[in-house]
């Protein structure tokens, strides 16, 4: 485990939800694939990994070759193998679904190949011939890592500016530990940086410790790959009480350090998305006896993935549907939150008069969204910001010369695999710009 992570952090008690294949299991599953020539699974993958190709290589014992095929398309293939919602991407589009046959477990096969490569110290890529060009990358998450690695293969030197002490973005700080633990993310980061020529300036906040204009002046191009910001609050009474926290901030504390749950008997999680589902499962795994998800919509229309919610139900989580918190209340001493006052809502999510519901809670976690960070670039003429995200073309070019963007800063908060795809696309656009091709 990397020494810069707390060995006693709370997340270490979590076990892999899906688990890893043994060699025999991997070969058996790989041999089920019919290697479609027009494979819909490839089209469903935002990075368009040649899935039949890497699976065929596993079936013939060429695990190293399988890993190379994956990493050629997605340098974050190790983390994506664990965190991708394959049920709605590649696995969801497997032709076997149309035949009433269990689909190929593509994510587990990808994990088998990429884990073997990292464990074996395989190095597939080298830095290209030095171009003499320098690129700054804001944010140390998946988009910037994918962009920087691709830029190094093309010969450009890179500097990543990250406000935290560790890189990896939400892979390190925010992904549910039953999917991906922080030490695995940091190991992947170190492997990516192993190409050389990528400098890291950690604990440096762009816009505060270093000016945007300075980055532009000192580099030949700038990539904005910052993720999302602070948890969104509800703006209701009692949010200042101890024990009312943003879900993502709480997850970060749990993944990088320790959270105290021994005195918590009842936890209420507000929201119905994937972060809400992740955090209710985490709360149960950490031993909180009663965990309730409160969502103002209905179960069929919740934005979180149905298969994830099914797993949460299996852990004893319960839900209050069409329910809206209107205030948090503390005990007489004001020491911390004790109750969540709610109203039921109708199908249009309008509060119903006289429908008050009170839920007991020692911990409340708000999982209703995060702020967008595109406004950090609002002072730069030529860069358009819409609803907090940076407007770019398909390749990540902004309206200002030298500036590119990708990941959550561009898409508003999609999957890790989307960030990887956008980072690599932006790297190629930056390369064209540095070569004098294109109009960025």
One pLDDT digit (tens) per residue for the chain, 440 residues = 344 788 999 999 999 988 899 999 999 999 999 999 899 999 999 999 999 999 999 999 999 999 999 999 999 999 999 999 999 999 999 999 999 999 999 999 999 999 999 999 999 999 999 999 999 999 999 999 999 999 999 999 999 999 999 999 999 999 999 999 999 999 999 999 999 999 999 999 999 999 999 999 999 999 999 999 999 999 999 999 999 999 999 999 999 999 999 899 999 999 999 999 999 999 999 999 999 999 999 999 999 999 999 999 999 999 999 999 999 999 877 779 999 999 999 999 999 999 999 999 999 999 999 999 999 999 999 999 999 999 999 999 999 999 999 999 999 999 999 999 999 999 999 999 999 875 55
Predicted model pTM: 0.95
- Domain 134-229+372-434 in the same topology as domain 16-119: no
In the chain, DSSP finds a helix count (H) and a strand count (E) of 15, 15
Using CA atoms, how far apart are residues 224 and 338, in angstroms rounded to an integer?
A: 41
Q: What is the pLDDT at residue 212?
A: 97
Q: Could you tell me which CATH number the domain at 134-229+372-434 has?
A: 3.50.50.60
CATH of the domain spanning 244-366, picked from 2.60.120.260, 3.40.50.1820, 3.50.50.60, 2.40.40.20: 3.50.50.60
For residue 317, give every residue at least 6 positions away whose Cβ sits within 8 Å of its Cβ, in sequence order, or none: 280, 281, 284, 291, 292, 293
What is the reported pLDDT for 331?
82
- The ranges assigned to domains in the chain are 16-119, 134-229+372-434, 244-366
Task: Give residue 242's Cα distance to chain centre.
Answer: 27
Task: Show the tokens assigned to 428.
Answer: 């190629």
Write down the pLDDT at residue 437: 73
**Alpha-carbon span 129 to 124, nearest angstrom:** 16
Three-class SS of residue 67? Answer: helix
| CATH number for the domain running over 16-119 | 1.10.1060.10
Work out the number of other CB atoms within 10 angstroms of the CB of residue 434: 22
Largest pairwise CA distance in the chain: 71
Q: What are phi and psi of 426, to 5 degrees?
A: -65, -40
Q: What SS3 state is found at 113?
A: helix
Q: DSSP secondary-structure letter at 376?
A: G
Q: Concatenated DSSP letters for 313-324?
A: HHTT-EEEESEE
| Residues listed for the chain | 440
């Amino acid at each position: 485990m990397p020494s810069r992570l707390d060995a006693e952090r709370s997340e270490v008690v979590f076990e892999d939800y899906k688990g890893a294949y043994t060699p025999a299991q991997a070969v058996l599953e790989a041999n089920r694939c019919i290697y479609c020539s027009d494979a819909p699974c490839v089209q469903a993958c935002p990075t368009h990994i040649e899935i039949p190709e890497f699976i065929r290589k596993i079936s013939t014992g060429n695990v190293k070759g399988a890993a190379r095929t994956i990493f050629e398309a997605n340098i974050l293939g190790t983390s994506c193998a664990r965190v991708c919602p394959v049920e709605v991407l590649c696995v969801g589009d497997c032709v076997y679904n149309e035949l009433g046959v269990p689909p190929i477990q593509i994510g587990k096969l990808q994990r088998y190949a990429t884990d073997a490569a990292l464990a074996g110290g395989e190095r597939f890529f080298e830095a290209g011939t030095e171009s003499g060009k320098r690129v700054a990358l804001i944010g140390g998450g998946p988009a910037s890592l994918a962009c920087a690695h691709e830029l190094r293969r093309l010969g450009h030197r890179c500097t990543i500016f990250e406000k935290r002490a560790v890189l990896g973005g939400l892979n390190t700080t925010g992904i549910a530990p039953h999917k991906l633990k922080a030490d695995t993310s940091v190991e992947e980061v170190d492997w990516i940086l192993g190409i050389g020529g990528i400098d890291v300036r950690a604990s440096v906040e762009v816009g505060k410790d270093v000016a945007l204009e300075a980055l532009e002046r000192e580099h030949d191009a700038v990539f904005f790959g910052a993720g999302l910001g602070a948890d969104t609050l509800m703006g209701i009474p009692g949010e200042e009480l101890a024990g009312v926290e943003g879900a993502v901030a709480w997850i970060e504390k749990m993944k990088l350090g320790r959270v105290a749950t021994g005195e918590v008997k009842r936890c209420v999680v507000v929201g119905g998305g994937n972060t809400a589902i992740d955090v209710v499962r985490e709360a149960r795994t950490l031993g909180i006896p009663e965990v309730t998800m409160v969502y103002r919509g209905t179960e069929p229309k919740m934005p979180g993935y149905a298969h994830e919610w099914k797993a949460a139900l299996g852990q004893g989580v319960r839900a209050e549907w069409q329910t809206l918190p209107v205030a948090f209340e503390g005990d007489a001493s004001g020491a911390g939150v004790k109750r969540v006052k709610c109203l039921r809502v109708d199908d249009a999510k309008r509060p119903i008069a006289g429908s008050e519901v009170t839920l007991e809670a020692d911990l409340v976690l708000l999982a209703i969204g995060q702020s967008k960070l595109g406004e950090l670039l609002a002072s730069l003429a030529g860069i358009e910001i819409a609803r907090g995200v940076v407007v770019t073309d398909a390749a990540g070019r902004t309206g200002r010369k030298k500036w590119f963007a990708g990941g959550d800063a561009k898409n508003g908060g999609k999957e890790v695999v989307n960030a990887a795809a956008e980072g690599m696309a932006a790297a190629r656009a930056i390369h064209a710009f540095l070569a004098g091709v294109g109009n960025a």
